[in-house]
């Protein structure tokens, strides 16, 4: 094992185990108990038999359709029925094997079945490894918006096996890099500079670069979550880029863009706002956009998107308050402030600048 990151939450504390071969620790962290492995069809085809072989007899499994549309109330309810039919009791364990959709949905099922049973996160996408598998946020989407139903439910362990990234499509790997860049832009300027200096190693899946990158993201999130588990304050800075990102996902129909692609776009928009409202140098917007583009991520909006639709979608986001849209802004890269309400006129002006001319001009 190359790296261990601790999430310090008292009796709910747990470890993130990072490195090649981390999956081999699954029998140990499942503590000899039994339960169900929840995955999607793509991940199951690549890793399912190995995981069941490691866990041994007595384990069931549920295989979901891939994609954001699966993170729904219907699928959540069906999972609970499956768990009940399998006669899982309060000692059972749920293993979430997959990306962010699987982790969020399986985690919410674990949080709500018998009012909460243990679960283990085994993320197989980069985005899940650096972000969604850590911190205990679980949930599903509603018709009105993304992640509007859910619960805070901490896993008992997170196993990050970088070898599983070998089966991840290139587009999904790129989507995960949006969250990686987010940590640098919002929380750690030195890390942002490190990413810029290691683009080729990261794109080439060099083990050392991947382990260091994933570990630093997990360390940054661990620091925030340990201080604010339920997003009462500080943890909201992790939503940098997500207000507009979630709106773009909703307006385009969940699934047209990867979550990370939408977050990349949302970060550039948030930086445009920061130029106007916090004095962020315009060159810094171009700097982040160039880094995102180095990982094949989008940085400019589609001409067909309508401002009124995006504004309406932002209005139902969890970060909205009192009918006003709130954004995480920054006056310098590597540091960000808690979400603040932004006037509609400022939001529209930033949108028009983003649409009407080059990034950061």
Q: What angle do CA 282, 288, 294 make, to 5 degrees?
A: 140
- Residue from 246, 250, 318, 326 carrying the catalytic annotation: 246
- Residue from 235, 250, 287, 326 carrying the catalytic annotation: 235
Task: Tell me if residue 319 is catalytic.
Answer: no
Task: Tell me if residue 47 is catalytic.
Answer: no
Q: What is the DSSP string of 174-213?
A: HHHHHHHHHHHHHH-HHHHHHHHHTHHHHHTT-HHHHHHH
- Residue from 146, 242, 250, 353 carrying the catalytic annotation: 242
- Residue from 75, 179, 229, 272 carrying the catalytic annotation: 179
Task: Tell me if residue 115 is catalytic.
Answer: yes
- Residue from 221, 250, 326, 353 carrying the catalytic annotation: 221
Residue 58's region, left for phi above 0, alpha for psi from -120 to 50, else beta, is left
- Residue from 239, 249, 250, 284 carrying the catalytic annotation: 239
- Residue from 231, 249, 272, 284 carrying the catalytic annotation: 231
Task: Tell me if residue 231 is catalytic.
Answer: yes
Q: Residue 267's closest CA among 329, 325, 189?
A: 329
Task: Tell me if residue 324 is catalytic.
Answer: no
Task: Tell me if residue 87 is catalytic.
Answer: no
- Residue from 71, 146, 153, 259 carrying the catalytic annotation: 259
Rounded to 10 deg, the angle between the 282-294 and 170-187 helix axes is: 150
Please list, residue by residue across 215-225, b when 16 or more beta carbons sit within 10 angstroms of its beta carbon and e when fewer do.
bbbbbbbbbbb
First-to-last C-alpha distance (Å) of the chain: 46
Q: Which residue spans within the chain are E strands per DSSP? A: 3-7, 14-18, 35-40, 60-64, 93-98, 118-123, 137-142, 145-152, 157-160, 326-327, 340-341
Task: Tell me if residue 357 is catalytic.
Answer: no
Q: Structure tokens of 289? A: 């956009």
Q: What is the DSSP string of 243-287?
A: HHHHHHHHHH-TTSS-HHHHHHHHHHHHHHHHHHHH---HHHHHH
- Residue from 11, 87, 115, 357 carrying the catalytic annotation: 115
Task: Tell me if residue 179 is catalytic.
Answer: yes
Active site (catalytic) residues: 115, 137, 179, 221, 231, 235, 239, 242, 246, 259
């Amino acid at each position: 094992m190359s790296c261990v990151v601790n999430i310090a939450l008292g009796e709910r504390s747990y470890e993130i185990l990072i490195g090649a071969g981390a999956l081999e620790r699954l029998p140990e962290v499942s503590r000899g108990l039994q339960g169900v492995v929840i995955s999607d069809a793509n991940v199951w085809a690549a890793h399912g038999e190995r995981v069941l072989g490691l866990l041994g007899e007595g384990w069931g499994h549920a295989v979901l359709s891939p994609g954001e549309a699966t993170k729904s109330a219907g699928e959540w309810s069906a999972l609970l029925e499956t768990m009940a039919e399998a006669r899982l009791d309060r000692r059972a364990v749920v293993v979430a094997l997959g990306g962010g959709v699987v982790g969020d949905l399986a985690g919410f099922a674990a949080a709500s079945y018998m009012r909460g049973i243990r679960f283990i996160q085994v993320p197989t996408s980069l985005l899940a490894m650096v972000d969604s598998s850590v911190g205990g946020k679980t949930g599903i989407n509603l018709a009105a918006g993304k992640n509007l139903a859910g619960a805070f439910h901490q896993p008992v362990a997170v196993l990050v096996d970088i070898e599983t990234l070998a089966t991840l499509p290139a587009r999904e790997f790129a989507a995960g890099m949006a969250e990686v860049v987010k940590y640098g832009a919002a929380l750690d300027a030195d890390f942002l500079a490190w990413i810029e200096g290691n683009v080729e190693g990261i794109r080439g899946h060099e083990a050392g670069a991947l382990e260091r990158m994933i570990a630093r993201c997990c360390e940054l999130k661990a620091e925030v979550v340990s201080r604010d588990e339920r997003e009462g304050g500080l943890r909201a800075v992790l939503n940098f880029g997500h207000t507009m990102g979630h709106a773009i996902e909703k307006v385009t129909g969940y699934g047209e863009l990867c979550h990370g692609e939408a977050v990349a776009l949302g970060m550039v928009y948030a930086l445009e706002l920061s130029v106007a409202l916090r004095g962020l140098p315009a060159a810094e917007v171009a700097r982040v956009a160039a880094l995102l583009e180095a990982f094949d991520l989008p940085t400019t909006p589609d001409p067909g998107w309508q401002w009124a639709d995006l504004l309406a979608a932002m209005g139902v986001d969890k970060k909205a308050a009192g009918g006003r849209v709130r954004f995480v802004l920054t006056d310098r890269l590597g540091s960000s402030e808690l979400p603040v309400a932004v006037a509609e006129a400022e939001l529209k002006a930033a949108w028009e600048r983003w649409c009407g001319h080059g990034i950061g001009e």
